[in-house]
Homo-oligomer: A and B are copies of this chain.
Amino acid sequence: MSFLGELLSTLFDRTPLSFGLSSKADQPIDAMMEALVKTNGETAGLALSRSILTQYDGLDDNAKIALFEHLAEKMNINPEDVETSLKNYNQNPNKKTYQAFMQAAEPRRQELFRRLNHAPGATAFLVRMRADLLRLGRGKPQLEALDLDLKHLFVSWFNRGFLVLRRVSWQSPAHILEKIIAYEAVHAIDSWDDLRRRMEPEDRRCFAFFHPSMPDEPLIFVEVALTHGIANSIQVILAENREVIAGDTADTAVFYSISNCQAGLAGISFGNSLIKQVAADLAQEWPGLKTFVTLSPIPKLAAWSKDMGIDLAAQNPDQLKSMAAHYLLNAKSHGQWPYDPVARFHLGNGAMIHALHGDADLSEKGIAQSGGMMVNYLYDLKSVESNQDKFAEEQVIKSASDISTWAEKFAPSI
């Protein structure tokens, strides 16, 4: 399949089209956006797209907000058109009336985004633009609505079928690796030596999803340790002088860090696929692996306990553990869903709560967010799908039997 490989390596190597220069490509950005939606010309369109990309990068936040507002207002659907076209379609459903309805029901900015994407490198640009929009639009109903259009497009473009799972290793390009350093959000990588300890040994793995149009940008990545038995602290996993084990003697794969890389892809979920695909790949490479488990933070335990009026620091180890068990099983937000976002993610994927470990993350951040407690979520091949269904439909949280025992003992010092 190297043909594909070589084929794609030219994705961004396009020779600039030299067919004329568009005189329209030197106007205010909103005017160029209007022109881009209207133009018939490929060359003109590309010239406009390039100018828009360049001009956008020079805008300050206020100008960006103004631009987003322009998109939200001036390139929105026209409700009357929707209504009329819907009526026509209803009376006479055929290709023509349906096309008219589709066109009316889709705001023009969607076509704008699609056309912008014709320019080389534009996909990454649009992802950055959405990151701006999410940051600047918070609390502004119009802009929050506008975001749905970008998100709708991204759900289509970043379809699982277009993503590529790829191992990242010490043999990967440095410009990719430095992004792993930058994007690691759970247990910070503090140097190239630290990175190397996570990438090079044969009992350490890292996998990421990439999109063909953003080949230099990982979308999400997971770090995995192959171990004998389930690791009970992050210190053990990240220790500088630990002994490397032979991959074919490992019985357990510990997913100890998952990081989303692109703020502009918020809400477009990859993590679910990533973990399962990585588990499937590892199981095939190392038939000895029997257990697939996370070693996860409990990021909101401290926040929740504070809300409860409980002083996390005042709890003895057993109290802490029973509090964590209670919290994971019973604390809810949005009504029925687990309060803890990491719990929500893994339980939503069909994992179960397997074990709790005190003094498992002694970093400043680990102590602050959960008093050092960490949790293993277990991906059990046989039950992951039924777990997922029960959690989705009835919010059933599956856990090892002693977790509920610990939860029942919940009696914090106050």
Contact = CB atoms under 8 A, between A and B. Distances in A.
Interface string A185-201: 00000001000100110
What is the copy number of this chain in the assembly? Answer: 4
Nearest to A98: B145
A272 interface: yes
Contacts of A7: 5, 8, 164, 166, 210, 215
Interface string A1-36: 111111111111111111110100000000000000
Determine the main DSSP class of A at the interface with B.
helix
A2 B10 contact: no
B2 A3 contact: yes
A348 B43 CA distance: 12
Contact of A171 (B1, B10, B40, B157): B1
A18 B165 contact: no
Contacts of A153: 156
Contacts of A152: 102
A12 B2 CA distance: 12
Nearest to A167: B10
Interface stretch (A57-65, A113-121, A225-233, A324-332): A113-121
Max chain B C-beta neighbours (<10 A), residue from A123, A350, A383 = A350
B8 A176 contact: no
A177 B195 CA distance: 14
Interface residues of A, number: 107
Nearest to A79: B90
A15 B165 CA distance: 11
Contact of A86 (B82, B174, B279): B82
A170 interface: yes
B3 A389 contact: no
Nearest to A123: B161
Interface centre among A173, A281, A392, by most B CB within 10 Å? A173
Interface string A270-314: 001100110111011000000000000000000000000000000
A93 B164 contact: no
B385 A19 contact: yes
A98 B10 CA distance: 39
Interface in A196-244: 196, 199-200, 210, 212-213, 215-216
9 contacts: A1-B13, A4-B212, A19-B350, A43-B276, A82-B82, A94-B145, A102-B148, A174-B174, A174-B199
Interface of A: 1-20, 22, 40-44, 77, 79, 82-83, 86, 89-90, 93-95, 97-99, 101-102, 105-106, 114, 117-120, 122-123, 141-142, 144-145, 147-148, 152-153, 155-157, 159-162, 164-166, 170-177, 192, 196, 199-200, 210, 212-213, 215-216, 272-273, 276-277, 279-281, 283-284, 348-350, 379, 381-386, 388-389, 392
